[in-house]
Amino acid sequence: MDKILHFGGYAFLGALFFRAFNASLPDSKIKTIIFISITTSVLYGLTDELHQSFTTSRSADIMDFAADTAGSIFGVLTYCLVSSKISFFIQKKAKITKKSLRTNP
């Protein structure tokens, strides 16, 4: 159960990083934004595990870090795919609407 929570939490974090970097770096290639988002999310997971190693009631776990990494990759790629599909359909609908406005006076 713990690994599922790590995976889900970092999937969400990765998606948020992708959304933030995509909005703040509009001239960047999508591959660059994906790379930066995954790297930032994974590094956050690494520092979280490192921090836990210094806490008496917690311990660092390599499997937690693996779940963090897998979740980050999944979240970024899923958000990227879903947002591109939604954008495609919105643009397609806008073209259809614009076309129908020109043909119907």
List the domain boundaries for the chain: 2-103
State the pLDDT at residue 76.
97
> Contact at 8 Å (CB) between 73 and 14?
yes
Residue 52 has pLDDT above 60, yes or no: yes
Which two three-digit tokens encode residue 61? 């776990």
Chain mean pLDDT for the chain: 88
Helix (H, G, I), strand (E, B) or coil at 61: coil
Dist CA 14 CA 101 (whole Å)? 40
Q: Residue 79 — pLDDT band, cuts 50, 70, 90?
A: very high
Neighbours of 74 (CB within 10 A): 17
Evaluate if pTM is beyond 0.85: no
Contact indicator for 29, 93 with CB cutoff of 8 Å: no
